[in-house]
Structure 1
Amino acid sequence: MTTTVVTGGTGTLGRQVVDRLRAAGHEVRVVSRRSQPYAVDLVKGTGPLDEALRGADVVVHCASGQRGDEVAARRLVEAVRRAGVGHLVYISIVGVDRVPLGYYRTKWAVERLVEASGTGWTILRTTQFHDLVLTLLTGLAKPPVMLVPAGVADQPIGSGEVADRLAELADGAPAGRVPELGGPQVLDLGELAAAYLAASGRRRRIVRVPLPGKVARALRAGGHLTPDRAVGRETFAAFLTKVLAPSKTG
């Protein structure tokens, strides 16, 4: 039986990866700040990380946050070396090397740590999850007028499809940098906003606002998109139908 450790195994993506690996027959150890018996804070360096990795065959690194990702990855890589784990799988984001956003730059730095880990590794880059785009649009819809960045598109993908692919990669041999995984449609943010409003029953005027700066330019250029790898199946509209009940209170 393969023993697999999933960091961030209680998060949106991680818990789905855990379910799929267990269904495939893996012994899975969940590492997160509050999961027992492996309550580990990778940023602070607390908890039984070495114990969680002892005898493990694979580590799937799903833990991520707005701060401390590089520190957390460095600690994990060092522990992977100590434990002699043979395969480290990392989930990253399309465009981390093209969009000069702080979080993207951190993810890119983590990729390089994984590549230099000295163990077998696999890196999968994906576009933004449906859940993240929904959170963004929900926030933008709070005022009476919904302001969206002009000229910016997105390519959302279902987190369950990403979990399927990660579990498949964890079940195989180290593969290095594998082909990116993108959602089935590249849509303008105005189109995504309109789909959100229709699904939620809210009424807002959508106004496209031009944004200045290097990040906005990179996004308008599609640095975070992978249209040639639009292999996802679930559309954003289908996701909205599944998770939103129409409301007349907006």
Structure 2
Amino acid sequence: MTPQQLDHFARMIDHTNLHADASAADMKKLCAEAKQYHFKMVAINESQTQRCAEYLAGTDIDVGAAISFPLGQTTIAAKVFETEDAIKNGATEIDYVVNLTEVKNGNYAYIKSEMTQMVTCCHQHQLPCKVIFENCYLTKDEIRQLALIAKEVQPDFIKTSTGFGTGGATIADVQLMKQTVGAAVKVKAAGGIRSATDFLAMIDAGAERIGTSAGVQIIESLKKQA
């Protein structure tokens, strides 16, 4: 595999550490690895935004703040406020979790309003917005309904999982999400993607961004492939 091909794959990775007990040293290590491997983004909890923005200053690596993470159980106003705060502190991408209670209530008007306000907030700052579905708690019809809303509202990405639920990304869910949104919205797969085989399978299924804490191992494995 050529250096150009490896860099192409590295630029599809959101290098992730969202653990509650992640220290400043852990964040410094995450950012150093992101610089070494030229990953697209570091995915971190919102409170780590300023620290990572400082570590990554002067690079083309984005700082991705996770909003209302991992449960999504905050109000729309709280999510917008947290987003504005993250952006003020240096975030250059936003991943937020939908309100799953309202999905289960069938309150798709609420979900559309939430998504619209979050996307508007991000796009006013010319920043991408990713919507986390947390598919392990959803039926296929609920996934489809969320994707249809996204097709209309047009966030930059819809995302399979937080990695903190009862399950992560699956090939079937990535395919369903991509088939539903078509070219209007990109798909990010996250949760349980730890090998080069899984990584390439998700891309083949339609994912254009991969969230993983195993990015270093994946790229090192790809280096060894012919």
TM-score (norm 2): 0.36
In terms of fraction of residues, the more helix-rich structure is 2
Q: Which has the larger radius of gyration?
A: 1
